[in-house]
Every structure is written in structure tokens, then in C-alpha cells.
Structure 1
């Protein structure tokens, strides 16, 4: 009988790993948790995580030991420089597109304030390019406030809620043909405020009961404006009417329970609350996205749809690896791992040490700085 050939699995030092290497075996943290599954193709961020967890060697498939020539090192250095520049260039491009979309939307809605119907095709032309650009860098969801200008909050809020609503629709698997309508529902959810006295809208102090009753009418005004405009679905109109309704019937204007609310309104409600709470406003400073997300989780018990909240939290935190954050004790760190069971309490590297916020309950993320 011929001896059966045994092929050994190469064990490679993490320092020598090439981007694109495929793991031949599972990789576990020192405490036994699964870090990477067998068959995972390693990218730059994955190799960083291996280093953070002090994992020195891994088993890989077909990993070739190639001596690095000077030219190869030079090319690698050039790629690193290009990779470092890319996020900044993308952020600058997004800022430019975002500002342009805000300015254009403002001009369009001023026409609505003057009595015109919503120019639906023109609004679509504002929304579509920024959605396309956003899809290549969805991690911006954690730092939308960095693109804000206080003097045009209402229009930035509209664009941002449109973007967030669009992403939620994708994450909860709304049919693709409806994604644009959901984005328009988010963008136009507050269009009824064009009919509210600006002195009430911009009042820095607490509203009187009479003023709050007037504010609440924007939902009905929005429904009427959208119904009178061609090219928008009933769901878009109902999102304007119902985005302040709540699952337990405690919202306005009709006090409807969750079973009576349109799906678009439930999506927009989550997007609206998230962006409002994580933005600087006249009467409120922005809160950390992680603080806001924890609040959303609490609100999913009776106020907001729990399925949509969970999908949003899973979606927004999946892009967090590599993000620089400030903790509540003033230290800066980098998110290196997010447990899907505890998405608001990731592992953060601070000065070479890993802090697991699941265990360090006295700490929280108070600010997201950059990716």
C-alpha cells in the first residue's frame, strides 16, 4: 500500500500575513471567544485586530513566504499613504455633496412654503446622488453631525433622515423598488413645518402648551402637502402624518398604536429620533451616537418598533471597527471589535490595552471622532 500523502497547514506569523490570506482554522481570543471563522479572508483591519489581541500566529491556506524587495516595500508604503488619504478625500467629497443637497433642498422647500406643490422630481434629483455616494462609506452614519451647520439644521435633518431611512429600508429588506420612496419619506417627513410660524420653530426656550399644539399640526400639514403632490406614495404621506406616533399609542397627532402605523412611518420615526438626538440644536447639545443608540434600545420597549430599532443598531454598529472614539473618562481609543449581542458596548483599544465596555460599565463612548 502507498502511504497517504499528508499536507500540512502553513502556520504564519501575523507580522508576515498578506492581505487576502484565507484562514485555515478558527481564531479565538485569549479568553476563548471566536474572533474569526475558518475560511475568513483577511483584510488590513482584520490583521490589526489580530495584533490588538496579541495573536502571533495563525493557520492559513496557501500562504506563500515571499521575501520583500525594496520595490515591494515602496509599493506597500505608497498604498498605505493612499489608504490614509482616501477617507479624508471621501469625507471632503461627501461634505461638498451634502452641503449642495442641503442648499438645493432649502430652495425647493421655500417654493412649497410659498404655496407650490412639492417638486418631486427635483427632490429626487437632490436625494439620489447623495444616496449613491453614501453607500460607498456607510460608516458616516456614526458621524453625520460632523457635516452639520447649525444655521441650516432643518434641511440637514431632512437630508440625513432620508439617508438613514433608506439604509434602514435596505437592512430590514423592504423591496428594492420602494427604497427611494422610503428615502423621500424621510426627506419630507417635516415638510409640514413650512406652514408653522418660524418664531415658534426657532424658539430657544421651552414651548408653551399653545405653541406645542401648533407644532404638532406640522404632521397634518405635511400629510396634506404630500397628498397634493404627484409622484409620492401613500406611505410617504403617512410617514409625515405618523412619524411622531408611538407603539404604545402615546404619540401624536391621533394617538394611534403600532398596529395602525404604516411601515414607512415606523422607519422614519427611528431615523428622526436618532439624528435629532445626535445633532447640535438650538436647545440641545449633540449626544454620542452610542448614547443615543442605547436610548433607542430603551425606547423600543413601547415607543419605537423593536424590530426596526434592532436592525438599525446592528446596521450602524457593523461599520464601527477602526473608529476613533472618546470615552467618558476623557481617554481616546479605537474600536476593534463589536459583539452583535452587545453592539453598543464594543471593545476599545486604549494605549495598547483592550477595554471591553461590556465589563467596564462605568465607561461609555461620549464622542465619535473619526474613522
Structure 2
């Protein structure tokens, strides 16, 4: 067969009811609602064929003839999972190492700011740019981001994470690409004003007194002043530091501004800030599952956070969930097989040979993200 003939050869279409175990998908399979049920290259065994039938998929494009290679492939799904993990494992340490390197570098730079120097903007950009680029290229790793953190350097990890999340939100809400780095810097530097807060207040393990909390709230103003004094940062970055604790209904601080008066960057970093904080282990709070957090964000967005940005963020962070291994609140482990765009935080999870639809099983929730396949 010539190269030309190979190019124009049509992919075989096989009736789902006639599929042989071990057939490999040649194209993605979509549900009637437009969500991806199975990705290209998925091997189809009894369980996968049951999913196709459950979603009333009649035909699929497969490689070859759609035939499996016989009984000896009965264990292939486990082998395929192992291969997938082998491919994934080199990726995760690399991006985690990049994250940890960025955290360490930022920590060293911030020590200089604590000493009274202006922000070394170009050096911060050099720290932030590579990790932002990696996450823009591999946004599916975002669900695993909270697992990268260690509580002993939370402030710097939080800064890098908020910068990453803010850049992704900027992309998802279609902020011009030339502004993505400024949005990322806005997220990374949103708490820079805390370098001017008394360490005894900043690191107090217990609840702050009313006077201490009033002093803590000044970090927003200090941050604005520090950023304004540093060259290479836009007004939006400074306003994000000032306004990231303001809320849509005017209930935030330091000025009690309503949403109509807030800069777009501040609305973006506010969502990123709340999300990562709730997903992280801290001295006074146990980390919550990303799925629990995004549900909370949706509930709290009206009146507090910009609902349009929250919705775009939730859609963005859940669009890569197919194949993610998760733990449910009843202790069972399962794999996400379908995410309904109308209920992105309540996907269908395959566990124990059955499908649990979290839209219907309201008593259950995803309490932990374990791996992405």
C-alpha cells in the first residue's frame, strides 16, 4: 500500500454491539451533551463497552478491524493503566520540581523585599515564567497542584500557585495573551504587603485580636505601595494587591468597594486566592478536595466573587477530569468517566463495576483527587 493510500484509507466504523474486546478507539467518543466519554486510543473492554451502550452510542471509529487479540488480553486494562502511569510519572516529578524550584527562588527574592528593597521584577518574572508556561501547556495537572505543597513554606507556595491559577483563568476568560504574565505576577505578588506586617501578627498560631486583624488588613495597602514603587508592573498588578480582599457586594476590605469598582485582575486573583487557600493544609485548616472547593466557590460566588469568572474557572479546571482517580466521601475509589458541563463538579464516577452519578447521589462528594490517568 502506498503512503497516499494509507492517508486516504477511512477509519473502520464498528457497531458497538459488535465490538470485540481489545478494540482501540481511533477517535474521541462524545456524549449527547458534547462531553468526552472516551479519548482517542482508549482500549475497549467489557466495562467500556457497557459505558458506550449506557450512553446510547451506536457506532465508533476504531483502529484496524475492531477485533481484539483473544483471551490473552484479558489483563490488558491493568497493563494499559501501568503504561499510562509510566508515561505520567516522568511528567509529574518534572513539573513538581519546577514548582518547588520556583517556590525556593521566590522565597530568596522576597527576603530582599522584607529587608526594605523594591521588588526585583525582572528576577521574579524569570522565576514565574517557566512554571506558568508548563501549566499552560499541561493544564490537566492543575487538579494535582495542591499535592505539591508543604505547609512549612506555605506563603511562597501559595504565591506561585495563585500566579499559575490566575494565568490560566486569564486564558479561559479570554484576557489578551500579552497580559497573561502581568496577571500571573498579580497573583504571585498579591500578598507582598505582608512583608511589612509585624511577624508576631503574621505568624501568630491562634486567632488574631481585633486590633491585630486591623493591622493584618493593611497588607493590601502596603502591597499596593510596594508594587507602585517597583518598575515593570502594571497598574492592574498594584490594584490586585490592594483589592483582592474586596467583594462583589462591597463587604470586603480595605475600602469596601463593590464589584463595579474593582479591577479585572483583582477579581481573577481573588478566585485563585480563595481556591488555593481552601485546597491547602494550613495550621488552622485541613485541606479540602478541589471538587468540594469549587462547589463552595459556586455557592459563594454570588455576592462575594465574580460569578462569571468563577464559572469559567470551574469549567476550566474540570474539563480535564475524564480518567481522574478520586476518592468519594464513602471511602470508595473510582475513576471519573463523564463530566456534564451543566454540573461540572458532580461527575459520573465508575467504582466497583458500576457508575455513580454524583448529580443524583447528592449524599456523596469527591473528597480527594488521587491521580490523573
User: Common fold, TM-score beyond 0.5?
Assistant: yes
Residue deviations 1:198-254, cap 9 Å, x none? 221222211100110011000000000000000000000000000000000000000
Q: Identify the residue that residue 230 of structure 2 maps to in structure 1.
A: 229
Q: Identify the residue that residue 6 of structure 2 maps to in structure 1.
A: none
More moved, 129-138 vs 154-163: 129-138
Is residue 22–residue 41 contact of structure 1 (8 Å, CA) maintained in 2? yes
Q: Identify the residue that residue 99 of structure 2 maps to in structure 1.
A: 98
Superposition deviation, residue 66 in structure 1: 7.5
CA distance in 2, matches of 1:119, 1:225: 11
Q: Identify the residue that residue 279 of structure 2 maps to in structure 1.
A: 278
Query: Is 1:59 aligned with 2:59?
Result: yes
CA distance in 2, matches of 1:60, 1:304: 42
Is residue 24–residue 66 contact of structure 2 (8 Å, CA) maintained in 1? no
**What SS does the corresponding residue of 1:229 show, helix, strand or coil?**
coil
Is residue 163–residue 183 contact of structure 1 (8 Å, CA) maintained in 2? yes
Q: Identify the residue that residue 8 of structure 2 maps to in structure 1.
A: none
Q: Identify the residue that residue 9 of structure 2 maps to in structure 1.
A: none
Query: Is 1:295 aligned with 2:300?
Result: no
Q: CA RMSD in A?
A: 2.8
Superposition deviation, residue 106 in structure 1: 0.4
Q: Identify the residue that residue 260 of structure 2 maps to in structure 1.
A: 259
Q: TM-score, normalised by structure 2?
A: 0.87
Q: Identify the residue that residue 18 of structure 1 maps to in structure 2.
A: 24
Are residues 189 and 34 of structure 1, via their aligned partners in 2, closer, same or farther at CA, if it must alter by over 3 Å? closer
Q: Identify the residue that residue 311 of structure 1 maps to in structure 2.
A: 312
Q: Identify the residue that residue 3 of structure 1 maps to in structure 2.
A: none
Are residues 52 and 35 of structure 1, via their aligned partners in 2, closer, same or farther at CA, if it must alter by over 3 Å? farther
CA distance in 2, matches of 1:127, 1:209: 35
More moved, 82-91 vs 227-236: 82-91
Structure 2 unmatched runs, 5+: 1-11
Superposition deviation, residue 68 in structure 1: 7.4
CA distance in 1, matches of 2:270, 2:187: 9
Is residue 324–residue 368 contact of structure 1 (8 Å, CA) maintained in 2? yes
More moved, 45-54 vs 196-205: 45-54
CA distance in 1, matches of 2:254, 2:354: 50
CA distance in 1, matches of 2:62, 2:281: 51
Structure 1 unmatched runs, 5+: 1-7
Residue deviations 1:280-304, cap 9 Å, x none? 0111110111111111111111000
Q: Identify the residue that residue 40 of structure 2 maps to in structure 1.
A: 43
Are residues 331 and 260 of structure 1, via their aligned partners in 2, closer, same or farther at CA, if it must alter by over 3 Å? same
Superposition deviation, residue 41 in structure 1: 9.3
More moved, 83-92 vs 122-131: 83-92
**What SS does the corresponding residue of 2:360 show, helix, strand or coil?**
coil
Q: Identify the residue that residue 86 of structure 2 maps to in structure 1.
A: 85
Are residues 108 and 45 of structure 1, via their aligned partners in 2, closer, same or farther at CA, if it must alter by over 3 Å? farther
Are residues 47 and 309 of structure 1, via their aligned partners in 2, closer, same or farther at CA, if it must alter by over 3 Å? farther
Are residues 241 and 13 of structure 1, via their aligned partners in 2, closer, same or farther at CA, if it must alter by over 3 Å? same
Superposition deviation, residue 95 in structure 1: 1.5
Q: Identify the residue that residue 135 of structure 1 maps to in structure 2.
A: 136
CA distance in 2, matches of 1:338, 1:20: 21
Are residues 359 and 14 of structure 1, via their aligned partners in 2, closer, same or farther at CA, if it must alter by over 3 Å? farther
CA distance in 2, matches of 1:323, 1:270: 23
CA distance in 2, matches of 1:222, 1:14: 62
Query: Is 1:212 aligned with 2:219?
Result: no
Are residues 14 and 221 of structure 1, via their aligned partners in 2, closer, same or farther at CA, if it must alter by over 3 Å? farther
Is residue 357–residue 364 contact of structure 1 (8 Å, CA) maintained in 2? yes
Is residue 19–residue 67 contact of structure 2 (8 Å, CA) maintained in 1? no
CA distance in 2, matches of 1:171, 1:328: 30
Query: Is 1:240 aligned with 2:246?
Result: no
Q: TM-score, normalised by structure 1?
A: 0.87
Are residues 42 and 217 of structure 1, via their aligned partners in 2, closer, same or farther at CA, if it must alter by over 3 Å? closer
Is residue 25–residue 42 contact of structure 2 (8 Å, CA) maintained in 1? no
- The aligned length equals 352
**What SS does the corresponding residue of 1:370 show, helix, strand or coil?**
strand
CA distance in 1, matches of 2:333, 2:189: 37
**What SS does the corresponding residue of 1:15 show, helix, strand or coil?**
coil
